[in-house]
């Protein structure tokens, strides 16, 4: 596969992960309005005086977003320049995935601006988080199409359609779960709606809104379903000896889920310390990234098998015609 494109796609993916992680720090630290209601400048300046912690955090988050744009432009330009190379242009190529990621960046930036202008209301924050997860998935697809994250090996391995369906279902559940996690963290009263773990218990704060408790409990139920699904999927892919890249991705997702459960328990027990809240959101993003990668790799394996089967059928057609002609001649 194309090594330069693979390196560029990895760089863009790492910067995107850093932006999501830093976005969690911005939200948890209350730095979302660190630059006032100004965007993209901070208090009307491109380089404001770095004399307030919230300003430094928000400004750094915006710098990472700018670095992500540079990485996306570089990746897309390089892919376009090599669009005639195998695996770069056309369907399933790096170019289309990079263009999608680049197109998502201005939408993400605009939603970030709207979030600032509206004073960090919960629905814009949750939507901003969901769009960031989508951009992350597009970049992960670009990396795998370039041969990274197991993409090169996936074209040489085998996986059943059942595994592909299970991995796609796991990625879907993970996406809904992290979106509800974003709602739990931002909807008024939702983050303090339950003082117990894994059961809800009483709210940490008094007069908790009933809707907030519903949101948090729905998030927890989906997280439980995701845990059961991922470990059931892991047992199945190991038992059936599926593609090693898929087994590895699902196993990493399972390990991250176990870590996330421990973080959630500690977070509730310690009454929501900011460090654990930021870590909880960051690990959630990694779980989504890993499960999306598992689903994408499983689909790549299935597509490779279909292509081989079609090629085998085409190759055997002349042989079949020859056998038929021989039989007719023998008559």
Q: Of 133, 149, 165, which residue is a domain's last?
A: 149
Looking at the structure, tell me whether residues 89 and 161 fall in a common domain. Answer: no
Q: Indicate the number of domains in the chain.
A: 2
**What is the pLDDT at residue 104?**
95
Residue 33: partners with Cβ closer than 8 Å, 6 or more residues away:
54, 58, 116, 119, 120
Looking at the structure, tell me whether residues 77 and 16 fall in a common domain. Answer: yes
**What is the pLDDT at residue 231?**
97
Note whether 253 and 170 are within 8 A (CB): yes
Note whether 17 and 289 are within 8 A (CB): yes
Rounded to two decimals, the pTM is: 0.83
Q: What's the CA angle centered on 174, arms 209 and 95, to 5 degrees?
A: 130
Note whether 216 and 184 are within 8 A (CB): yes
Looking at the structure, tell me whether residues 141 and 11 fall in a common domain. Answer: yes
CA distance 331 to 328: 5
Looking at the structure, tell me whether residues 142 and 189 fall in a common domain. Answer: no
**What is the pLDDT at residue 305?**
57
Say what the alpha-carbon torsion angle 147, 250, 259, 146 is, to the nearest 10 degrees. 10
The closest of 301, 292, 302, 307 to 142, measured between CA atoms, is 292
Looking at the structure, tell me whether residues 172 and 133 fall in a common domain. Answer: no
**What is the pLDDT at residue 209?**
57
Q: Of 93, 124, 149, which residue is a domain's last?
A: 149
C-alpha distances out from residue 309 to 199, 304, 315, Å = 50, 9, 10
CA distance 144 to 331: 54
Looking at the structure, tell me whether residues 133 and 161 fall in a common domain. Answer: no
Q: Do you find a cis peptide bond into 198, omega within 30 degrees of 0?
A: yes
**What is the pLDDT at residue 327?**
34
**What is the pLDDT at residue 31?**
72
Looking at the structure, tell me whether residues 124 and 55 fall in a common domain. Answer: yes
**What is the pLDDT at residue 283?**
93
**What is the pLDDT at residue 203?**
56
Looking at the structure, tell me whether residues 73 and 199 fall in a common domain. Answer: no
Q: Of 102, 126, 149, which residue is a domain's last?
A: 149
Enumerate residue ranges in the chain where pLDDT < 50.
205-208, 308-331
**What is the pLDDT at residue 239?**
92
The closest of 45, 27, 25 to 35, measured between CA atoms, is 45
Looking at the structure, tell me whether residues 197 and 74 fall in a common domain. Answer: no
Residue-range definition of the domain harbouring residue 140: 1-149
Note whether 180 and 218 are within 8 A (CB): yes
Looking at the structure, tell me whether residues 71 and 178 fall in a common domain. Answer: no
Note whether 150 and 245 are within 8 A (CB): yes
Looking at the structure, tell me whether residues 112 and 140 fall in a common domain. Answer: yes
Looking at the structure, tell me whether residues 200 and 316 fall in a common domain. Answer: yes
Helix (H, G, I), strand (E, B) or coil at 175: helix
């Amino acid at each position: 596969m194309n090594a330069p494109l693979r390196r560029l796609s990895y760089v863009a993916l790492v910067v995107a992960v850093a932006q999501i992680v830093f976005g969690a720090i911005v939200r948890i630290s209350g730095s979302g309005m660190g630059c006032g209601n100004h965007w993209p400048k901070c208090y009307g300046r491109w380089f404001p005086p770095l004399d307030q912690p919230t300003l430094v955090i928000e400004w750094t988050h915006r710098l990472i977003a700018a670095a992500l744009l540079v990485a996306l432009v570089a990746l897309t330009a390089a892919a376009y320049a090599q669009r005639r190379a195998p695996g770069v242009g056309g369907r399933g190529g790096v170019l289309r995935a990079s263009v999608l990621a680049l197109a998502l960046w201005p939408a993400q930036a605009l939603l970030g601006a709207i979030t600032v202008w509206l004073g960090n209301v919960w629905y814009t924050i949750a939507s901003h988080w969901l769009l960031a997860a989508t951009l992350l998935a597009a970049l992960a697809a670009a990396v795998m199409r370039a041969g990274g994250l197991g993409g090169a090996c996936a074209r040489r391995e085998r996986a059943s359609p059942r595994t592909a369906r299970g991995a796609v279902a796991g990625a879907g559940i993970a996406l809904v779960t992290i979106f509800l996690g974003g709602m739990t963290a931002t909807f008024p009263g939702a983050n303090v709606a339950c003082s117990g773990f894994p059961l809800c218990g009483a709210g940490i704060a008094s007069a908790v809104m009933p809707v907030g408790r519903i949101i948090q409990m729905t998030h927890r139920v989906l997280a439980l379903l995701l845990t059961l699904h991922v470990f059931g999927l892991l047992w199945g892919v190991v038992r059936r000896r599926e593609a090693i890249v898929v087994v590895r991705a699902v196993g990493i997702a399972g390990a991250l889920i176990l870590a996330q459960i421990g973080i959630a328990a500690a977070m509730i027990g310690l009454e929501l310390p900011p460090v654990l809240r930021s870590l909880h959101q960051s690990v959630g993003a990694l779980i989504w990234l890993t499960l999306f990668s598992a689903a994408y790799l499983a689909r790549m394996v299935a597509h490779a098998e279909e292509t081989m089967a079609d090629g085998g059928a085409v190759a055997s057609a002349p042989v079949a015609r020859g056998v038929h002609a021989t039989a007719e001649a023998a008559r």
